Chain A
Amino acid sequence: MNGVISNGFESWLAAPPGQLAGAGLDWLDDQRRVARERVREQGVPTSKTEDWRYTSLKGLLEQNFAQVDEAITALQPDDLEDILIPGLDSHRVVLVNGRYAPELSVLGDLPKGVRLGGLRTLLDADPDALRDRLNRIAGDRQPLFLALNTAGLDDGFVALFDRAAILERPIELIHLSVGMDEPRVAQPRHLVVLGDGAQATLIERYVSLGESLYCTNSVLEIALGRDAVLQHDRIQMESANAFHLTGLYLSQDTNSRYRGVNIGLGARWARTELVTRFRGEQAECDLQGLYLAGDRQLMDYHLDVAHSVPRCTSRENFKGILYGKGRAVFDGLVAVARDAQKSDAAMSNRNLMLSESAEVDTKPQLEINADDVKCSHGTTVGRIEPEMLFYLRSRGISAPLARRMLCLGFAGEIIQTLSAEALREHVSERVGQRLESAPLN
């Protein structure tokens, strides 16, 4: 039944399907089998593959990542001390190397109509709650890393909100990576479903203990019902030696509102794919992004925003700071279908280059097939203005501090869209620290 996978990713799917969560559920076994086929038939993307033109998989393929095969249970709540954000009051769900860790999670009091927790737990307890939801938005023609995640689907985070359920405090999903003897790949699968009129804030964090080498390939599906509202902060602070892949697949019904703030600071090689689909009119999707690409670091963003129905609004606003031999890719597509009149989209990608040897490939694209729309895109690649630098220095501020202040000023527009003050402070501080250690030219 299992086709042989011969494209370098065999080790990612080493576990026998019979040991995966929910094994024996026909619908789930089918999904995993189909995904395995997809992995097998696709082969490895090359520089000729359009979506991978600017990003090489060579570094990733040189690693022989083994699948995480056991839950890490040795961690104590105290071990999270350095990871928690002071002053952030949340419903906390912790995953360690892709596995739900109930002993580290603090779900808190949840109102009626809200379910939070681990995917495997819910698959065991109530598989029917997931049957028509899991793998629905991601679809059938899955690209390689989504298919790999689906084929190995085993554990992750789930949030299910019934109609009109509202959670006041944010949900904080902490994905913690802990180095193992040999490099491991974790493939967590997350699902967030907000029923009609439901409201939530989700803070999704990728962090590590130590600076070890590992790979995360996470997939998150989000379905927003009519009038649902989700604020979604994503903070990627993986280990400096890690590989990070993440795919977000978002579906929005009529009049729903989504704001996603994507902060990319960590990992040596990070790829983020954001795919959004409007299912009903007058929905709003706001994608904000901030990335720091330091020396020999790659930050790669792919946006695919489809306005397939009329009167929806989308914003794509990404800013990057690059230094040393840092590299970034911004490949953004906004497609407006023929019937999607009154679509309103604005895409922007601005980059601040702190060194001569940093490099960014930016490709914002609009594909417009309707005639009554408001769409724009813009991109800039610039340096720190000498005027601004001199102004700060003339006030007694050293050149390195002045540069950092200007970078933080540039980043501030995105940071301020995060949901909580404690989080904004945390991110500003980390951006400042990263810039402090940045060799300037």
Chain B
Amino acid sequence: MLAVKGLKANVGGKEILRGLDFSVGPGEVHAIMGPNGSGKSTFAHVLSGREGYEVTAGSATFEGQDLLALEPEERAQLGLFLAFQYPVELPGVNNTYFLKAALNSILKARGQPELDAVSFLRLIKEKLKILHLDDSLLKRAVNAGFSGGEKKRNEIFQMALLEPKLAILDETDSGLDIDALRVVADGVNALRSPERSMIVVTHYQRLLDYIQPDHVHVLSKGRIIRSGGKELALELEEKGYGWIDAEGQAA
């Protein structure tokens, strides 16, 4: 589904990703862990096509296409979704209008019929129920004045609606208390399916108590230095990143 080979990327002239190899198969959930500054968020942004990142080497193939050659909207239309660490507030842009524009843009790009207002509202009510969300969310401007928890839930709600093939959750746990974290994790788990893959980017192990990954990777200085099962996350939690860094340098 996703294959990344030897990926190198600069931000502001500084090399952050230094030859990253990584691949995801259908239905798999991968966790990427690492200390601050290891390149986790940069990796998520490069995959989603954000400006300001310069890819200097390597490749990323998604669904058989050269991902790096596509515009951000084309990546989304192909089935990629990024749940933002800091969801952006869009004052004046109504959430329902936004969700409908997004879904219909994706359907249109795939040559499928767009939804009219009635079927769209029916769909959206159904998704709200699955995620136990209040429909007052729909009347508000996108993320404007939302609490940290509401913003993250709105991200997962968008994911539920757009049904991506590959979702990247960028530090979805940051800024959430344990109750909010559980609600978000439940939402994510409800969306797990054999056709949907996920990359969970996180600094802390605690999110992985709720979203159990199939694979765990440790990122350090722009490279994956260890890969393993979910027990690797526990090991990290116990020993801290210093252990990995020391080992990384030794290796």
Q: Given the interface contacts A391-B87, A394-B48, does A399 sit within 8 Å of B73 by beta carbon? A: yes
Contacts of A405 in B (CB 8 A): 90, 93, 97-98, 101
A396→B102 CA distance, assembly (Å): 6
Identify which of A386, A399, A410 contacts B71 (C-beta below 8 A).
A399
A388's partner among B73, B88, B103, B106 (CB-CB below 8 A) is: B88
A413 to B92 Cα, complex, angstroms: 7
- Contact string, A371-391, partner B, CB cutoff 8 A, digits 1/0? 000000000000001111011
Bound-complex Cα distance A405 to B84 (A): 20
Q: In the complex, A392→B73 CA distance in Å?
A: 8
Answer yes or no: B91 CB below 8 A from chain A CBs.
Answer: yes
Alpha-carbon separation in the docked complex, A392 to B103 (Å): 11
Which residue, of B73, B76, B84, B87, has the highest number of chain A Cβ atoms within 10 A? B73
1/0 contact string of A396-429 vs chain B (CB within 8 Å): 1111011001101111110000000000000000
> Which residues of the partner chain B approach A410 to less than 8 Å between Cβ atoms?
91-92
- Does the CB pair B92–A390 fall under 8 Å? no
A397 touches B92 (CB 8 A): no
List B residues 50-97 near A (Cβ within 8 Å): 50-51, 71-73, 75-77, 81-82, 84, 87-88, 90-94, 97
Least CB distance, A417 to chain B, in whole angstroms? 13
Cβ–Cβ contact B51 & A406, under 8 A: no
Smallest Cβ-Cβ distance to B52: which chain A residue: A386
Q: Does A393 contact B (CB under 8 A)?
A: yes
Q: Bound complex: CA of A299 vs CA of B4, how far in Å?
A: 52
Min CB–CB distance A397 → chain B (angstroms): 5
**Contact of B158 with A by CB under 8 A:** yes
Within 8 A of A (CB), among B106-145: 106, 109, 141
B82 adjacent to A396 (CB under 8 Å): no
A396's contact among B87, B106, B141, by CB below 8 Å, is which?
Answer: B106
CA separation between A35 and B19, bound complex, in Å?
Answer: 80
Which residue of B is nearest A390, CB measured?
A: B50
A393 B90 Cβ-Cβ under 8 A: no
Contacts of B71 in A (CB 8 A): 393, 399
A-B contact pairs, 23 of them (CB 8 A): A387-B88, A391-B84, A391-B88, A392-B90, A393-B71, A393-B73, A393-B76, A394-B75, A394-B76, A394-B82, A395-B73, A395-B76, A395-B158, A396-B76, A396-B106, A397-B102, A399-B71, A401-B101, A401-B105, A405-B101, A408-B92, A410-B92, A411-B92
Residues of A in contact with B (beta carbons under 8 Å apart): 385-388, 390-399, 401-402, 405-406, 408-413
**Additional 20 contacts, C-beta under 8 A, given A390-B50, A391-B88:** A388-B88, A388-B90, A391-B90, A394-B48, A394-B49, A394-B72, A395-B98, A395-B102, A396-B106, A397-B101, A398-B105, A399-B73, A401-B101, A405-B97, A406-B93, A409-B93, A410-B91, A410-B92, A412-B92, A412-B93
